[in-house]
Structure 1
């Protein structure tokens, strides 16, 4: 699916959900007012906090809260942490109205889901969660660039790999990737057909990288290699974005699957690979030379 198609589907969804109407369901509430009540159901908020939660500007949040306050659906109390601001919370009429709204909209969505089988609903839920996470991650990635490795990056990439390896106790004497003799000349290694390595750069600093190359001893299978990221890079979704870049490249090269080896103490990495569709396998594949990596995973295309 391309961006144009997804945008078209999103527009249809917004219209079907009634998000362009002045009323949410049959209630005398605009969509932004309904969303505001829902947020206050979970936790009271200041104007600034509400603007952040709804991803709207402060004036929009302030105006919406003022309308709901006049309608008696919310009330304000002094903020104990900042006497200059107010905290907004639901009133009893506000909770009653929100309960009725939930019942009405849940019935509507249940009727839609009745058109779908259980496995379709599961896939829809997983896809919507992934799509939402992707949108949230994009805002945290501004100023970070993923680009191909070049010879000038060799020393910086090697330093990242050694630093992260030391952080997790992946020492050279145990046969981990840090022991590779090509560690300081990686740009030469990834010049070959079917191979590529990418780095993540921010403010002219290399903060991480990862790549793919043919898996020795296997046909049409590549290996995801040397995925290392400094602590300051983590939590931005960039490791996933780089891995997706690598997997797309692998498909374009005609590979039928991607293999990787890692170790059990890299729990965040394993969770990332599983979210990308990698599954654990019991036996090693090919000839990686990393006999200390006891976790083997494979994704087929």
Structure 2
């Protein structure tokens, strides 16, 4: 699916759900007003809190809270910790109106879900959660660039590999990737056809990287290699973004599968690979030379 198709589907969903209507759930509530009530059900909010939660500007949040207050659905009181701001809560009438809204909208969505089997509903849930997380992470990635490795990056990416390896106790004497003799000349390693390595750069600093190379001793299987990221890079979804880029490259190059080896110390990495569809296998594939990596995983295309 491309961006144009996804946008079209999103528009159709918004229309079908009545989000363009002036009334939500056939009640005298606009969609924005309904969202405000739903957020207040969770906990009281200031205007700034509400604007952040709904991803709207402060004036929109303030105006909506004022309308709901005038309708007797919301009440605002001085914030206990900041007398300069107000904190809004639901009134009993507001809670009752919201309960009715939930009932109507749940009945509507139940009608939609009745057209789908259990496994389809589970797939939908996972996909929507993944899509929402992708939106959040994309907002955290501004200013970070993923680009191909160049010879000028060799020293920087080697330093990243050594620093992260030391952080997790992956010492050279144990046969991990940090012991590779080509570590200081990685741009040469990824020059052959169907090989590629990318670095993540921020403010002219290389903070991580990862690559794809043919798996030695196999045919049409590649290996996801040297995925290393400094602590300041983590939590932004960039490791996943780079891995997705690498997997797309692997498919374009005609590989049938992507293999990787890792270790139990790298808990976050294992969770990432599992989320990308890699499956654990019991025996190593090919000949990587990293016999200290006790976890083997593969994703078939």
Q: TM-score, normalised on structure 1?
A: 0.99
Alignment of 1:156-171 (within 5 A): 156-171=156-171
Q: Structure 1: 5+ residue runs without aligned partners? A: none
Q: Helix, strand or coil for the counterpart of 1:89? A: strand
Partner of 1:212: helix, strand, or coil? strand
RMSD between aligned alpha carbons? 0.6
SS at match of 1:112: helix
| 1:133 positional shift | 0.6
Q: Once the two structures are superposed, what CA deviation does each residue of 1:240-289 show, in whole Å capped at 9, x if it has no partner? A: 00000000000000001100000111111111101100111111111010
Residue 282 in structure 1 maps to residue 282 in structure 2: yes
> SS in structure 2 opposite 1:25?
coil
Aligned to 2:93: 93
Distance in 2 (CA, whole Å) between partners of 1:88 and 1:212 is: 52
CA offset digits 1:33-61 (Å, max 9, x no partner): 00011111111110001000000000000
How many correspondences in the alignment? 301
For residue 111 of structure 2, what is the aligned residue in structure 1?
111
Q: Distance in 1 between matches of 2:91 and 2:205?
A: 51
Listed as ranges, the matches of 1:206-221 within 5 Å are 206-221=206-221
What's 1:18 paired with?
18
Name the structure 2 match of 1:43. Answer: 43
Q: What TM-score results when the alignment is normalised by the length of structure 2?
A: 0.99
Alignment partner, residue 201 of structure 1: 201
Describe the SS at the equivalent of 1:29.
Answer: coil
How far apart are the structure 2 equivalents of 1:43 and 1:239? 33
Partners of 2:98 and 2:283 lie apart in 1 by: 54
1:133-282 to 2 correspondences below 5 Å: 133-282=133-282
1:34 alignment partner in structure 2: 34
Match of 2:80 in 1: 80
Structure 1 runs of 4+ with >3 Å offset: none
CA drift of 1:219 comes to: 1.0
Q: Distance in 1 between matches of 2:57 and 2:270?
A: 38
Q: In structure 2, how many angstroms separate the alpha carbons of the residues matched to 1:89 and 1:292? A: 56
* Residues in 2 aligned to 1:89 and 1:272: alpha-carbon distance in whole angstroms: 39
